[in-house]
Structure 1
Amino acid sequence: MAQCHMFLLELIILCSFLKGTSEVTETRVFSSSGENVRLPCNNALSDCTSTTWTYTRLSGTVELIAGGEKKNDIERRERLSLGSDCSLNIKKVTQEDYGHYICRQYVNDKQQGTDAPVYLHVLRVSSSSSQTEIRSGSVTLSCQLYSYGVSCDTLVRSEGIQLIWVNQTGVNLMTDSRYQIFFSSTHCISTLTTTLLNEDHNREWRCQVTQRNHPKISATYTVKYSDQEDLSDRPAPHNQEIVISAVVVALAVLVAVFWVIYKKKAYNKRETHSSVFKDVNEHKGTYETINMAIPSMPNANEQTDDVTYSEVTSSSKKQVQMDNDHSNDTVTYAAIRGTEYAPQDGLYASVKK
């Protein structure tokens, strides 16, 4: 009888152990790229100084936290921190952070309890264009769920995971014929291809992860056109604006050219007029009128020499340089004419300028 009771007691302990083991289950955390994420530690103790976090992926296992302190030899050390509940916090998650995380508790170098595994899945949306601003008339967006330790097919079949595209109001774009959507369960990628319209500038497309039709996380992509963007399918008014702008620029260039030509002609005309005016002034002569008086008839008894003198002097203002000497040209005209009535002492007429 005593042996029977002992057997029942062992059976109860075994069942309790199996029940406790079954309560430790895997935790799946979904996050989108660029967000902050918290990975819970389901076997946390009151003192987190006994906590250790490890990270496993294809490249191997790396210890991130040991004895409640961050390791110094890890690349993402600045983005990691330990919460007051022994959870692991990661800032600005990237697709490189996905993988298998394990929280363990050690007391006196002995593990307490069982492992608390956490699988981190990271969602990221990217464009087929390497440019931050789209320059072509069409765009292809890729939405990928990065996972480790489980295939995408398993997530779809057993977990009911789906990747869907929705617009800003949450409507599934699969119902819109404008979009071509393709899903690959091999790499957990859903692509969206569409021809851009003018109203798509600053439009937001959202890729959403659902589990059994319940939204889990989402990642967005906003289309931005570059300044040089010239989409072929933009409305006609846009093309008209381009033509008008080209005409305005051409007219401005023509006006500038005509203005330069006009100014040049005006300058040449002014120079020619000034030169002619100068030549006229320099060659202008001076003319004098000489009035000569003829004396009255001499007496019959008086003897005369019958000679008349007249002198005309003309001077030009034009300067002529010869051997670095400046002088005025002076020309004197003299005429001697006989007259039968001239007085004996002669008649002189002189005009000087």
Structure 2
Amino acid sequence: MAEKCHMCLLGLILFCSLLTGTIEVDDTHEFCSSGGSVRLPCNNALSDCTSTVWTYSRHSKTAELIALGKKKTDTERHERLSLGSDCSLNITKVTKDDYGSYSCQQYVNGQHYGSDARVYLHFLHVSVSPSSSQIRNGSSVTLFCQLYHDQVSCDTLVRADGVQLIWENQAGVSLQTDSRYQISPPGNCYSTLTTTLLDEDHNTEWRCLVTQINQVKTSATYIVRYSDPADSTSETVDFMTDGSLFRVFAAPTVILLQSLCTRAGRKNSHHPKEIEMSTVLQ
């Protein structure tokens, strides 16, 4: 009898919670990188998405994306948004501008109903120094991997949610303990990888991964491509010798020598003679 009363009491509490809209909904963390797609779940959805409102906020600025099941068209990202049959928010061609806090809300008869389902979207990005045009065999390169987040601290992500940034190569082999790479200590939302490039690194792919409790959530990739020296911009130097003006076009592998004959005292106009000579630099 006591057990039946206990079950009835639990049912009554749940029923009252539904009526008063006080059911708590856990926050969700989603991770993405540039160009990908992401689904943001609406964990408080009712049977009909016509009651669903999605809002986005970052740095204390808020925008409404979905209003009672209909997509707003006055936002820059509206073409990349869609509402799923389960009221989830789908974002395609993700950019850095998309990270932030999203909230799925329910409105019944014009009244805010229940607790909001909040989704934190974190964005992973990899950059390189020096610039890609300066990368070549033998040079030192540093990759910067950063997890952008808002309204939740990095300490919370790392310590409470088990988020880590790790590096691996294109074969999926971890670089964390490889002595060739200097990798910053774990425990932050920012990681660097520094190494000296070798000839075989051309077209090599390095990845920065976000893991949460040892499960990969997303990754950002950098592909090493050595710049073609022949594409470098030539510089010109003019000098005079034996009454002629010489112009040298200096490129990394070839010198083009152009002789512009401008002998003093010549009255008749002639097209300048051009001499082109290729010399491989030693």
**AA aligned opposite 2:96:** Q
* Greater helix content: 1
SS at 2:229's partner residue? coil
In the other structure, the counterpart of 1:146 is 148
**AA aligned opposite 1:93:** V
In the other structure, the counterpart of 2:57 is 56
Q: Equivalents in 2 of 1:183, 1:34: separation in Å?
A: 28
In the other structure, the counterpart of 1:209 is 210
Given that residues 209 and 218 in structure 2 are in contact (C-alpha distance below 8 angstroms), is that contact kept between their aligned partners in structure 1? yes
Q: Equivalents in 2 of 1:69, 1:129: separation in Å?
A: 45
In the other structure, the counterpart of 1:182 is 184
Q: Equivalents in 2 of 1:65, 1:22: separation in Å?
A: 22
In the other structure, the counterpart of 1:41 is 42
Aligned length: 232
**AA aligned opposite 1:162:** Q
Q: Unmatched 5+ residue regions in structure 2?
A: 231-252, 258-274, 276-282
**Counterpart check, 1:117 vs 2:112:** no
Q: Deviations over 1:190-222 (max 9, x none)?
A: 011111111001000011111222222211111
Q: Equivalents in 2 of 1:122, 1:195: separation in Å?
A: 28
Deviation, 1:116, is 1.1
In the other structure, the counterpart of 2:174 is 172
Q: Equivalents in 2 of 1:132, 1:16: separation in Å?
A: 64
Q: Equivalents in 1 of 2:79, 2:215: separation in Å?
A: 34
Trace 1:65-144 onto structure 2 (pairs within 5 A).
65-131=66-132, 134-135=135-136, 137-144=139-146
Kindly tell me: are residues 83 and 132 of structure 1, through their superposed partners in 2, closer, same or farther at Cα, counting changes over 3 Å?
farther
Q: Equivalents in 1 of 2:16, 2:109: separation in Å?
A: 23
Q: Equivalents in 1 of 2:254, 2:79: separation in Å?
A: 54
**AA aligned opposite 2:183:** I
Q: Equivalents in 1 of 2:22, 2:179: separation in Å?
A: 51
Q: Equivalents in 1 of 2:146, 2:214: separation in Å?
A: 18
**AA aligned opposite 1:179:** Y
Q: Equivalents in 1 of 2:212, 2:89: separation in Å?
A: 24
* Greater strand content: 2
**Counterpart check, 1:32 vs 2:33:** yes
Output the TM-score relative to the length of structure 2.
0.72
Q: Equivalents in 2 of 1:10, 1:132: separation in Å?
A: 69
Kindly tell me: are residues 191 and 17 of structure 1, through their superposed partners in 2, closer, same or farther at Cα, counting changes over 3 Å?
farther
Q: Unmatched 5+ residue regions in structure 1?
A: 1-5, 230-244, 251-256, 258-353
**AA aligned opposite 1:128:** S
Kindly tell me: are residues 28 and 21 of structure 1, through their superposed partners in 2, closer, same or farther at Cα, counting changes over 3 Å?
farther
Deviation, 1:223, is 0.8
Trace 1:241-320 onto structure 2 (pairs within 5 A).
none
Deviation, 1:119, is 0.9
Given that residues 26 and 118 in structure 1 are in contact (C-alpha distance below 8 angstroms), is that contact kept between their aligned partners in structure 2? yes
Trace 1:155-170 onto structure 2 (pairs within 5 A).
155-170=157-172
In the other structure, the counterpart of 1:220 is 221
**AA aligned opposite 1:190:** S
Higher relative contact order (CA 8 A, sep 6+): 2
In the other structure, the counterpart of 2:243 is none
Deviation, 1:13, is 3.0
SS at 2:176's partner residue? helix
Deviation, 1:36, is 0.8
Q: Equivalents in 2 of 1:174, 1:80: separation in Å?
A: 37
Given that residues 51 and 67 in structure 1 are in contact (C-alpha distance below 8 angstroms), is that contact kept between their aligned partners in structure 2? yes
Kindly tell me: are residues 9 and 170 of structure 1, through their superposed partners in 2, closer, same or farther at Cα, counting changes over 3 Å?
closer
In the other structure, the counterpart of 2:247 is none
Q: Deviations over 1:284-337 (max 9, x none)?
A: xxxxxxxxxxxxxxxxxxxxxxxxxxxxxxxxxxxxxxxxxxxxxxxxxxxxxx
Q: Equivalents in 1 of 2:254, 2:103: separation in Å?
A: 65
**AA aligned opposite 1:33:** S
SS at 1:174's partner residue? coil
**AA aligned opposite 1:160:** G
Deviation, 1:46, is 2.7
SS at 2:75's partner residue? coil
